[in-house]
Amino acid sequence: MPTAMSELYKFLKQKNNTYKTWLQDVCSVPSVATDKDSCRKVVDSLGELLLSIEAKVTIYETESNPVIWAEVGEGDKTFMIYGHYDVQPVDDENAWNSSPYKIKETKDKYYGRGVCDCKGNIIANIFAVKAYLDEYGKLPCRIIFFLEGDEERGSPTLEKFSSKNKKLFSDVDFCMFPGEQNYIDPAENNVVTVGYKGCYYCELEVTGANTPVHSSLGTLIENPAWRLVWALSTIKNEKDEILINEITENAVPPTKKEEEVLKKWPFDTDKVKKQYSVKKLIGDVLGYAAKKKHIFEPTCTVCGIWAGNTGEGVVKTIVPNKATVKLDFRLVPNLTPDFVENALRNHLDENGFADVTVKNLVKLPVGYSDLDSPIYKTVSSVMKDVYGKEPKYLVRSPGGGPQYYICSQFGVPVFTAGVGYYGSKVHAPDENVRINDFYKHMEFVFSFLENLGQKGGKVT
């Protein structure tokens, strides 16, 4: 273990209680994005913690929760660390084995809402920087902590924030996103994600009579539920193919380099089947075909659908007067949310469904990085030192994130690194992290900074 690293461990041991107090402090507040007061409390706590490492902290108000922009250190390079302090609601506390807003520490894990997604990541990052400052007195580069409070509902404030504050982002060279549930896979590989699918989430609605009517009138009164089903059947077929031509024709296939990187990404279809107790995957896809479908193809998913009598066991013979479906489209390059919104509208109109209304709920563009950016060499070599093996790269997460607004549109490459692992149960009861992963991630950030320092702030 290099001397500086043993210093890091000594530091963490000495400051263990401080670090755990902070973790407990921010995780004890139920900062669901809709709970403005709780979010404000966490902003105050994180602001205080960032001030303690002598960061220049600016709180930007938005139409929802504030954005924290904290700068510390100086150098040729600017390293941005993204995080979000909002959490998913707990819903059923009884489903937890411990109180979700009180950190429970076992021999090897911390449990609590946000301990992985993503307050735990924020705390680990701040403490790693603090450890570096204690060891070396100054940072090898400029670090920006960019922390938002609306990620769990699709980061609705960031489009405006980033277009209003373009200048702030102009010097950023690379950005670290939190490594959450899939960051360490079951084979203990570090999986570094560099891009995200985009998302267009909408609600389709069909209305009928001015009131639900007796189903004997099903002969004469049009049924919105049937109309919605017919409209949906024009959008996707039984082979899971999207039938909106504009979407399929404009989706850009992966590049050679992206395919090369994807081939090395470990993905086991049998494990997926076992995990979710399903006999087969859609289209019986296997091997690389499954990876390709999962990562490079756009989706259209019915997330919820309802109309009329939905009471369990209730017999109510009616023609409903309203039917609704929530749909999400996961997007690949060249499919912007606006493009998909238009394509969907055109498709419905052309197929005789002009009466189906479309309400937008979330729009997130695709996030991407330049795979040839030199930063990935640095990330790989530091991870190899810290974790004992080189990471695997995931070209595009099948889920979404705010990467486009704060990084891709400014040409800033992204990598994930953090405290999560495959068993972190984010968004679910018993969210947890392994304590060793916490330490390892702090070590990674510390070593990453050392590496930048050794090279005179130059990334090679």
Listed ranges 44-52, 113-121, 170-178, 220-228: which one lies at the site for Zn ion (CB under 5 A): 113-121
Q: Are 166 and 158 in contact (CB under 8 A)?
A: no
Listed ranges 16-24, 93-101, 111-119, 449-457: which one lies at the site for Zn ion (CB under 5 A): 111-119
3-class secondary-structure state, position 248 = helix
Phi, psi values for residue 76, rounded to 5°: -65, -35
Site for Zn ion in 347-376 (CB under 5 A): none
Listed ranges 37-45, 117-125, 188-196, 291-299: which one lies at the site for Zn ion (CB under 5 A): 117-125
| CB closer to Zn ion, 117 vs 443 | 117
With residues binned 3-state (H G I as helix, E B as strand, rest as coil), the percentages for the chain, rounded to 5, are 40, 20, 40
256, exposed or middle or buried, with CB in 10 Å at 0-12, 13-18, 19+?
exposed
| CB closer to Zn ion, 88 vs 451 | 88
Provide the minimum distance between the beta carbon of 121 and Zn ion in the complex, in angstroms, as a whole number. 11
Q: Are 428 and 226 in contact (CB under 8 A)?
A: no
Listed ranges 71-79, 110-118, 182-190, 352-360: which one lies at the site for Zn ion (CB under 5 A): 110-118
| CB closer to Zn ion, 119 vs 347 | 119
Please tell me whether residue 117 binds Zn ion under the rule CB under 5 A.
Answer: yes
> Which residue number has the CB closest to Zn ion?
117
β-strand partners of 82: 146
Provide the minimum distance between the beta carbon of 305 and Zn ion in the complex, in angstroms, as a whole number. 24
Provide the minimum distance between the beta carbon of 170 and Zn ion in the complex, in angstroms, as a whole number. 28
Write the DSSP symbol of residue 215.
Answer: G
Provide the minimum distance between the beta carbon of 418 and Zn ion in the complex, in angstroms, as a whole number. 12
Listed ranges 115-123, 360-368, 393-401, 429-437: which one lies at the site for Zn ion (CB under 5 A): 115-123
Return the closest-CA partner of residue 82 out of 181, 210, 175, 193: 175
| CB closer to Zn ion, 254 vs 418 | 418
Element (H, E) at 110: strand 109-111
Neighbour tally for 93: CB within 10 Å: 11
Phi, psi values for residue 206, rounded to 5°: -125, 135
Q: Are 31 and 114 in contact (CB under 8 A)?
A: yes
Provide the minimum distance between the beta carbon of 441 and Zn ion in the complex, in angstroms, as a whole number. 17
Provide the minimum distance between the beta carbon of 117 and Zn ion in the complex, in angstroms, as a whole number. 4
Site for Zn ion, rule CB under 5 A: 117
